[in-house]
Structure 1
């Protein structure tokens, strides 16, 4: 009975969280950070203020969760490619990341932070990952798996992951944030990702000769 009750309450909490985040995103984008209150979010989500405060005690924590939710994958976690083809695996992860960066809400929420942060210290103090965390975790696991398979040698997966995603964001995301008319076609995006993957392969891939020497 306890387990069933616990599972039920977890389900209710998850459903309430989804309602809260959806309502928060709509209000933050419509009214901005300043004019969006936790009480208004609770009303729009159809939950009590106590329910909202239990999950999000501050507006800054709710905004951070809203940003991360906007960049989450539909299944919650992007699966790491199987090791064996270093370039193809990087391209797969890179395209998934580019897809996240091109979502309208990611851009709009970041604009809100840039506009509002100077007036709200609590925003400046938060660490916003803008939906990259699931992809960073996936890329981190993938780089380790390729290193273990001796297809690559990545001594610092965190730094390598940041380098790879940074090469993509520099072209796919940041110019669009600054220049409203910046646009890339699907082919352009793939080209950016493939170029970044080639750079990573040149830097980290192990040649057949190197693998043979390591094995010997």
Structure 2
């Protein structure tokens, strides 16, 4: 309890909502905590003692492909993440597939002045621990409503369809995330920059 109170007190320094005992959004709390840890990690980077920020274990990159629907020109990009927020469905695998499903985006093409593009993304790098957030709140009439529908969580997820051909993984990558329990994992002696089995990177 003392540890939780200390964490709450530290969060209240950057967000006054945590000064009282009011209920706060769990997802926002985790993001704020990761932000604070990252800030402290940057401050300790120049210290004489070796230090590895724990948030680094969660960080990864996604590569994006934005294709103009008019002329077909492709614009590439990279984005930094420390978690993925997935829509709720009956199965975690399906929720993950939905996240990486091509989506339409309204944007101006620099080549042909087209107004629509198709966006796809995949893992450019893989984290040691992949944290998944399931969105369980929907917009109600007056306030957000929580959806209590169950979601099936397999013991092991494979990600070949959403990984780049050479997506590197951090050394000793654990196949785990926040959830009910820890299942199978990628052996700690896997060669650096490779996977024990292609796409076998995540368990819940």
| Smaller-chain TM-score bracket | under 0.3
Task: Name the TM-score, length of structure 2 as normaliser.
Answer: 0.26
Q: Which protein, 1 or 2, shows the higher relative CO under an 8 Å CA cutoff with sep ≥ 6?
A: 1
Higher helix share: 1
Higher strand share: 2
Structure of larger gyration radius: 1
